[in-house]
């Protein structure tokens, strides 16, 4: 299969590119500043926020291969901090990368897959797209947007043989923690005493999280599946339980559970 993955410099993207290439697929991946290159993977320098670069990246694959069988939207970033102290520019940046970046690629991918009468779209969301996480509100909002967009897209494309799959990872040990932008000012810390201890708890969970290779192995199976599920939660048993709890508990009680967990 011909596979295009966004954001393969590190983390999930790098692990997926390596695993899918090892299985014999022709893998193309976009990056902004890759320092290590996987043999056999075609690297395309493209920023998901740049429409011209996005269009050129898709065209490069189609010019070479004539088709894209699987598109994996993975490129993303996180902005943490109290929403009150997050600027409008922070909000625009978060949505532009995580949600609009996906939309830009799909603007070119969807017509291609309709013309070729099939394909698979796999979008990396988060369990943060299923529940609003404290001090990660902008990130959660961007992932909620992915969830809603893909839910609608799946219905619209069901008659064209195009599968739309959403992946909802929990905590994983990647460089996401180190690269997260944090709205961290003395004013924010003074106004929100729980901010520091909550972020320490979040970062500890991330550092002790699953390895990205575990997600990559799952993606290999999903990419090859004839009829994949609509969504896959790839997370620890506790985090899967939290997702289930949100559907079962009254909203006020679930909010209390999150408050205790995140030390608010």
Give catalytic residue positions: 9, 125, 139, 143
Sort residue 118 into left (φ over 0), alpha (ψ -120 to 50) or beta: left
* Strands of the sheet with 2-5, listed across from one edge: 42-45, 26-31, 2-5, 70-73, 119-124, 162-169, 231-234
Helix H or strand E segment including 166: strand 162-169
Are residues 116 and 214 in contact, defined by beta-carbon separation less than 8 angstroms? Answer: no
Burial class (CB in 10 A: 0-12, 13-18, 19+), 263: middle
* Three-class DSSP category at 104: helix
Nearest partner of 77 among 147, 194, 176, judged by Cα: 176
Question: How far does Cα 61 stand from its chain's mean position?
Answer: 22
């Amino acid at each position: 299969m011909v596979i295009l993955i966004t954001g393969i410099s590190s983390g999930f993207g790098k692990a997926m590119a390596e695993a899918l290439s090892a299985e014999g697929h022709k893998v193309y991946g976009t990056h902004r500043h890759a320092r290590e290159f996987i043999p056999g993977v075609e690297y395309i320098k493209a920023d998901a926020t740049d429409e011209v670069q996005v269009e050129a990246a898709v065209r490069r694959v189609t010019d070479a291969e004539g088709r894209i069988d699987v598109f994996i939207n993975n490129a993303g970033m996180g902005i943490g901090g109290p929403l009150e102290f997050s600027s409008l520019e922070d909000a625009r940046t978060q949505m532009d990368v995580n949600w609009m970046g996906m939309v830009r690629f799909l603007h070119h991918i969807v017509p291609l897959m309709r013309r070729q009468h099939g394909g698979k779209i796999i979008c990396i969301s988060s369990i943060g797209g299923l529940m609003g996480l404290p001090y990660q509100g902008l990130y959660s909002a961007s992932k909620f947007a992915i969830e809603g967009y893909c839910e609608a897209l799946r219905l619209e494309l069901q008659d064209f043989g195009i599968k739309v799959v959403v992946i909802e990872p929990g905590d994983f040990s990647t460089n996401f923690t180190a690269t997260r932008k944090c709205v961290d000012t003395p004013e924010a810390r003074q106004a929100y005493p729980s901010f520091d201890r909550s972020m320490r708890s979040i970062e500890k969970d991330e550092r002790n999280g699953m390895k990205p290779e575990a997600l990559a192995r799952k993606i290999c199976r999903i990419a090859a599946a004839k009829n994949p599920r609509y969504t896959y939660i790839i997370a620890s048993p506790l985090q899967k339980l939290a997702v289930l709890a949100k559907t079962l508990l009254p909203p006020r009680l679930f909010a209390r559970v999150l408050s205790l967990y995140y030390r608010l």
